Amino acid sequence: MNQDTFSRRTLLVGAAALVAASPLRALAQGAGPAIHVMKDPNCGCCSAWIEILENDGFSVTTEASAGTLLMRYKLDNEIPQEMASCHTGRIEGYMIEGHVPAADIRRLLEERADAVGLAVPGMPYGSPGMGPESEREAFNVFLIRGDGSTEVFTSYASA
């Protein structure tokens, strides 16, 4: 084997490795599930939650909304008032209300539940984007059904 053959072979193997790794790199940069989030442009906790989703591979777009316009958006999309939080996302036909952990969103997308979506009402301390998980208070993620009823989807114990 001459040196030119070795160099071409090395180049081909290297190129193949790059092609094989490129989907992983794209996923890490947010090429995963696309979620559109309506949020107050001045809300830091909303931005922190979005950053968590992006770091988990979600592709996030945002739209500024606040006050009665944001509440109207929630109600128009079947989020019960008692399930409301500070931001609302839409992903693959589901609504995501509040500080829902990325793992629960992924589980919902895998299971394809017959539902409006998921909600973490209020802003529980230690939920994603709301302070350190190591100091979190207990909270539930609720599945919102089409008839407006809710059931616990996941429970998180206090830390």
Quote the CA–CA distance of 55 and 141 in Å, as a whole number: 20
What's the pLDDT tens digit per position in 81-93?
A: 999 999 999 999 9
Q: For the segment 102-148, what is each residue's pLDDT rounded down to a tens digit? A: 999 999 999 999 999 999 999 999 999 999 999 999 999 999 999 99
Calculate mean pLDDT across residues 73-86: 96
Residue with the two structure tokens 């592709």: 59
Sign of CA dihedral 84, 62, 22, 52: negative
Amino acid, single-letter form, for residue 79: I
CA distance to 64, 76, 79, 98, per residue, from 82 (Å)? 22, 14, 8, 12
Checking if the pLDDT of 1 tops 60, the result is no
The CATH architecture assigned to 32-156 reads 3-Layer(aba) Sandwich (3.40)
pLDDT tens per residue across span 16-72: 444 344 344 344 444 799 999 999 888 889 999 999 999 999 999 999 998 999 999
Cα 58 to Cα 156: distance, rounded to the nearest angstrom: 22
Domain ranges of the chain: 1-29, 32-156
